[in-house]
Amino acid sequence: MTANLFTINQHLQQHEVRRVLLIEDNDVNRMLLSDYLSYYGYDVQSLSKGSSFFATVETFQPELMLLDLKLPDIDGYSLLEQIQQRPDISKIPIIVVSGFAFKADQERAMGLGARHYFVKPINLQKLIIRIEQEFTYR
């Protein structure tokens, strides 16, 4: 796996910066993920609430989104449903990063358009590999 990360890091340094929108209400998780993604060369914008989600998407124009399902102001499933109603953003890959560990939660999120589902605590190396796979197969 370390070899994969080394290859990904070299690959990222050779190509354009990719924009990732992170929606996570936990300050520590948000800071950790943001710093980790930035280290690997991603341009990261992060939100602690879903209320400014659509305005941020319009201005930042992310190429991938990481979404926590439990947010203080909106249910992550509701946000996924709203995203699916918007053809202009419904094609942006969404990876769910959630503390909800039940299979039903994963199936529901995937049914609402999520491309992948990680249960917290997540393996950061696997997350980076999955993000790069999303960019590679687009």
Show Cβ contacts of residue 100 under 8 Å, excluding neighbours closer than 6 positions: 69, 70, 106, 119
Q: Which amino acid is at 12?
A: L
Number of folded domains that form the chain? 1
Residue 6 has pLDDT above 90, yes or no: no
**What band does 16 get if pLDDT is binned at 50, 70 and 90?**
confident
Q: For residues 8 and 77, which has the higher predicted lDDT (pLDDT)?
A: 77
CATH code for the domain in which residue 18 is found: 3.40.50.2300
Q: What pLDDT shows up at residue 137?
A: 80
Reported as a single tens digit per residue, the pLDDT across 24-55 is: 999 999 999 999 999 999 999 999 999 999 99
Cis peptide before 121 (omega within 30 of 0): yes
Average pLDDT over residues 81-104: 96
Boundaries of domain holding 117: 2-136
Using DSSP's 3-state secondary structure scheme, residue 101 falls into: coil
Question: Percentage of residues in the chain with pLDDT exceeding 90?
Answer: 86
Question: Percentage of residues in the chain with pLDDT exceeding 70?
Answer: 88
Output the CA angle 2-6-9, nearest 5 degrees: 135
Q: Is 96 exposed, middle or buried (0-12, 13-18, 19+ CB in 10 A)?
A: buried
Q: What pLDDT shows up at residue 35?
A: 97
Average pLDDT over residues 91-95: 97
Reported as a single tens digit per residue, the pLDDT across 107-133 is: 999 999 999 999 999 999 999 999 999
pTM over 0.85: yes
**Adjacent-strand bridge partners of 22:** 46, 66
